[in-house]
Amino acid sequence: MKDRTDHSDFYLKLTLLGTGTIRSQDGRACTSILLESSESTFLIDCGSGSWLRLHELKRDINHIDHIFLTHFHPDHISDLIPLLFSRYHAISPPSHAIRIYGAPGLIKLYKGLSEAFGVWMNDSRFQVTELTKPLSRISDFQVTTFALNHAPESIGYRFKKAQKVISISGDSGPCPELIELCRNADIAILECSFPDDQPDEHHLTPSEAGQIARQAGVKKLILSHFYPEVLRENIMLQASRNFSGEIQLAEDGDSILL
């Protein structure tokens, strides 16, 4: 994962590991996104299937530096334990720590998981940090968080390196914070759970995602987190009603080089 000799010093790559939900019926893994730069590797969410996707795509789990959780629902965190357990038992375990970030409540969650799965989770190479300030400098990125409309602990992440901005919503219904999260983003990855005729206050429809992208001035919109209902519809048509820019419907394994 760290072998980037074919690239210049500036390197930024997104890989969609999981683009489905807990009800996926088409082979999609649950939500997970890999963000790689020339200096660090971030994993944003690690839902069921993401650990397998990393292996399928020949991405070395031991090279992940940071894990960011958008919220604590099982379809976004259920592969956290396998990932950490695999790293703990690696033949050549990495010397550097893996750092796990999330909203307040993360430490309590981690302690509960440690009680359930054993003291190995208290290894000093696993470090847990609650993000209590909206703006942080983490490795080579400026990371901004926004409280969103889903679970009480839900946050979206805005990653900025040089002049490139990547916004990731996790799960959220419509709210003003989503527009600020995506403001002038080069890429905005927004959830797109249900079709336009089945709105949900805690999730987005294609038209709602398109409207957010338009209001925020997004350059490229990537839609993900599909329930079976929305996959039976013309997602692109519904999203393009409100957004005339570039739209991509995410598939597991998609990569974007910025």
120-140 per-position pLDDT tens digit: 999 999 999 999 999 999 999
pLDDT at site 49: 96
Residue 236's CB is within 10 A of a number of other CB atoms, namely 13
Q: Which amino acid is at 89?
A: H
pLDDT at site 2: 43
pLDDT at site 1: 44
pLDDT at site 10: 81
pLDDT over 60 at 4, yes or no: no
Query: Between the CA atoms of 130, 95, 64 and 59, what dihedral angle is there, to the nearest 10 degrees?
Result: -160
With a pLDDT cut of 70, the percent of the chain lying above it is: 97
CB 130, CB 102: distance < 8 Å: yes
Helix or strand run (H / E) with residue 210: helix 206-216
- Sheet containing 12-18: give its strands across: 126-130, 98-102, 66-68, 41-46, 32-37, 12-18, 255-257
End-to-end CA distance of the chain: 17
What domains can be seen in the chain, in order of their start residue?
12-257 (3.60.15.10)
CB 126, CB 111: distance < 8 Å: no
Strands 141-147 and 66-68, bridge-based pairing? unpaired
Structure tokens at 5: 């000799």
pLDDT at site 5: 38
pLDDT at site 93: 78
pLDDT at site 3: 46
Residue 97's Cβ-side half-sphere holds a number of Cα atoms within 13 Å equal to 13
Alpha helices by DSSP H, 50-175: 50-56, 74-77, 80-88, 106-117
Residue-wise pLDDT tens digits, 50-104: 999 999 999 999 999 999 999 999 999 999 999 999 999 988 878 889 999 999 9
pLDDT at site 91: 85
CB 243, CB 6: distance < 8 Å: no
Residue-wise pLDDT tens digits, 173-219: 999 999 999 999 999 999 999 999 999 999 999 999 999 999 999 99
Residue 9's CB is within 10 A of a number of other CB atoms, namely 7
pLDDT at site 25: 74
Q: For 50, phi and psi rounded to 5 degrees?
A: -70, -35
Residue tagged 């991509």 (tokens):
248
Question: Measuring CA to CA, which residue among 59, 239, 27, 68 is closest to residue 168?
Answer: 68
Residue-wise pLDDT tens digits, 102-125: 999 999 999 999 999 999 999 999
- pLDDT class of 27 with cuts at 50, 70, 90: confident
Return the minimum-mean-pLDDT range out of 17-21, 26-30, 136-140, 252-256: 26-30
pLDDT over 90 at 12, yes or no: yes
Question: Measuring CA to CA, which residue among 238, 183, 199 is closest to residue 169?
Answer: 183
